[in-house]
Structure formats: C-alpha cells, structure tokens
C-alpha cells in the first residue's frame, strides 16, 4: 500500500492518511485521479481509502507501507463487505418459523411472515418491521481475529478466523 495524501481536515485538529492499493493502467483512471496520483509520484491504483490517523510526520507523500508495520500485533479487527444474497424472505432473513403448522387450514402460508401490525388504529405498519428484503452486501466488522503469521517477503498476513466478504474482495484491518 502506498501513502498518497496527508493533510489535516479543515475544522478538526485530527489528521488523515490516504492509502492506495492494486495498480491499474492509466487509461482506467479518471483525469482527477491521474493528477492526484501524479502529485504523489506513483502510478494509479484501483482502491483509494482514507483513514483517520496521527502519524506525526513519520510518513511522506508517496511512501510505501508493507506488512512490517504488523510486527508485534496479536489481534486485529477486520472490516469488509459481506456477501450479497439478493432478495430473501423472512424465513431465510430473520429465521421466522412461518405461519402455523401444516394443519388447521394452512394452505399456502407456510413461509409467510404472518400478521404485520395493529388493527384499525394506527392503520399502518410500524417502521423497523422485519419483512422480506435485500440481504447481505453490508459493511461488517469482525473483532479480535488472531494474527497467526507475518510474511514480509511476500507482503502477506495470515489471520485466523472468519474474514467478511467474498474471495478476492478488499478488507481493511484495524489494530
């Protein structure tokens, strides 16, 4: 990863650092991003993320960050985007049991949510009612995953535990 930009925000006293990863061809970058990366003295990257940090001038524009910064770290929090599962009903999404059993006149309501709200007053469904809808594809943070090994030769970090997201997706580590 390469440090791209280091500047204090306009109102707060905090500082932030922008990290970029995964090189791309120049033709695939927009003109503003090309200028941004050119100022940093590096090639365009696919992923550009900003983190609040206080490095106190340890890094300069265009520096490269490797897994060597993870030496001595035992546990990390991993942030990623969970796998998307599309539109799901209440049985899959919220583990509802369905309406009743297979008897007492239940014809086609086995996987339905059942009653949704009150009667004639307030004559509406309350916000937050658990219904069918889009499931997954959300920001997920998994806490306290163990760092098993740091391999600086290959710039690899081996983590034990459930890392959120599909294979090949981007994750962020917090330590």
Where along the chain do its domains lie? 1-65, 67-95+133-175
Which residues fall within 8 angstroms of residue 12, CB to CB, at 6 or more apart? none
Which residues fall within 8 angstroms of residue 81, CB to CB, at 6 or more apart? 137, 138, 139, 140, 164, 165, 169
pLDDT more than 70, % of the chain: 87
Tell me how far apart the alpha carbons of residues 86 and 137 are, in angstroms, rounded to a whole number.
9
* Domain boundaries 1-65, corresponding CATH code: 3.30.160.810
CATH 2.40.30.10 correct for 67-95+133-175:
yes
Mean pLDDT across the chain: 88
Selection from 15, 21, 17, 69 nearest residue 42 by Cα: 21
If you search the block for the tokens 């309501």, which residue do you land on?
A: 109
pLDDT in tens, 55-89: 666 788 888 889 998 889 999 999 999 999 999 99
| pLDDT for 102 | 66
Asked if pLDDT for residue 40 goes beyond 60, the answer is: yes
Confidence label for 132 from pLDDT (cuts 50, 70 and 90) = very high
Mean pLDDT confidence for 39-52: 92
pLDDT in tens, 92-124: 999 998 776 666 677 777 888 888 888 888 889
């Amino acid at each position: 990863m390469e440090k791209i930009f280091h500047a204090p925000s306009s109102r707060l006293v905090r500082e932030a650092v922008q990290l970029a990863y995964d090189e791309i061809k120049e033709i695939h970058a927009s003109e503003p991003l090309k200028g941004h990366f050119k100022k940093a003295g590096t090639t365009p990257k696919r992923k550009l993320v900003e983190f609040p940090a206080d490095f106190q001038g340890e890094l300069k524009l265009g520096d490269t960050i490797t897994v060597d910064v993870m030496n001595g770290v035992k546990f990390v929090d991993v942030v990623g985007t969970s796998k998307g599962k599309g539109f799901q009903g209440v049985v899959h999404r919220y583990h509802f049991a369905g309406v009743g059993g297979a008897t007492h006149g239940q014809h086609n309501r086995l996987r339905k949510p059942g009653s949704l709200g009150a009667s004639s007053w307030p004559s509406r469904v309350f916000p937050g009612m658990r219904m069918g809808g889009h499931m997954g594809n959300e920001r997920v943070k998994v806490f306290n995953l163990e760092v098993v090994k740091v391999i600086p030769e290959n710039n690899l970090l081996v983590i034990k535990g459930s890392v959120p997201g599909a294979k090949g997706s981007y994750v962020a580590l917090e330590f």
